[in-house]
Amino acid sequence: MNILLLGPPGAGKGTQARLLEERYGMVQISTGDMLRASIKNNEPLGREAKSYMDKGLLVPDDLMIRMIAIRIGEPDCAKGFILDGFPRTVAQAQALDRMLSAKKTKLNYVVELAVDDDRLVERISGRFTCGDCGEGYHDMFKPTKAPSVCDICGGTNLTRRADDNAETIKTRLSAYHEQTAPILPYYKAKGSLKIIDGMAPMDHVQTKLVQLLGLK
């Protein structure tokens, strides 16, 4: 089953995709995570992407399309995947359609997590992650039980994303409205777009998503 999660930055796409990955062994493909790993490893792609990401701008389509074409061609994606963060432009959506039809497959579900802008700023600016095990937290909604210690692995390497600051968030939201939101009508016209209220608590969103995908 191939799933696409859409929605603005901070809508909970990554959280929901990770939950599906943990519960059902699905493969999560997060282009943001892939780019951050590429930057950490000082790869040419990461070096090129960094200047855009630091400003909150989208990385050029040709780079992203090449990156995703390689990733969905890898063996672990043969049984299906959850896309989180790609496509982000109509050109990327069209390229994805071409890639999938060449593989004689398609997107089975396209789900938008809808969240208002004012809630997004609050959500993004408070989030942080354990750099050791990847568990996600939030200053207000999901603080660690002990200050600065990961509840899951006990690590103290808690990190915030460089682009989760007030100024960059504004640019990322503008990029979403101007460049990414136009892909919603693209999928709506195909009759495949479903919408879930992403402002509900995380476990409610997961329950709705699981129902919509016909999972148990």
Distance CA 105, CA 92 (A): 17
State the catalytic residue, choosing from 50, 71, 161, 188.
161
Contact 129, 136 (CB under 8 A): yes
Whether 145 is a known active-site residue: answer no
Does 9 bind ligand AMP (CB under 6 A)? Our answer is yes
Q: In this chain, which stretch among 28-36, 40-48, 149-157, 205-213 interacts with ligand AMP, using CB under 6 A? A: 28-36
Q: Give Cβ neighbours of residue 39 (< 8 Å, ≥ 6 apart).
A: 46, 47, 49, 50, 53
- Nearer Cβ to ligand AMP (146/205): 205
Q: Name the catalytic one among 13, 18, 36, 123.
A: 13
| Nearest C-alpha neighbor of 59 from the set 82, 40, 77, 36 | 36
58 touches ligand AMP by CB under 6 A: yes
Site string for ligand AMP, 69-108 (x = CB under 6 A): ----------------xx-x---x----------------
Select from 86, 79, 100 the least CA-distant residue to 25: 79
Number of residues engaging ligand AMP in binding (CB under 6 A): 17
Does residue 67 bind ligand AMP (CB under 6 A)? no
Which residues between 167 and 206 bind ligand AMP (CB under 6 A)?
172
By CB under 6 A, is residue 115 in contact with ligand AMP? no
| Closer to ligand AMP by Cβ: residue 173 or 209 | 173
Q: Of how many residues is the chain composed? A: 216
- Residue from 3, 6, 64, 115 binding ligand AMP (CB under 6 A): 64
* Cβ neighbours for 81, distance < 8 A, ≥ 6 positions apart: 2, 3, 26, 27, 28, 29, 72
Tokens of residue 10, six digits: 């901070």
**188 token code pair:** 């709506």
44-55 vs 166-175: helix crossing angle, rounded to 10: 100
Cα distances (Å, whole numbers) of residue 75 to 8, 19, 32, 193: 29, 21, 21, 27
In terms of CB distance, is 52 or 109 closer to ligand AMP?
A: 52
Please indicate whether residue 208 is annotated as part of the active site.
no
Residues with catalytic roles: 13, 88, 127, 161, 172
Could you list the residues that contact ligand AMP (CB under 6 A)? Answer: 9, 31-32, 35, 52-53, 56-59, 64, 85-86, 88, 92, 163, 172
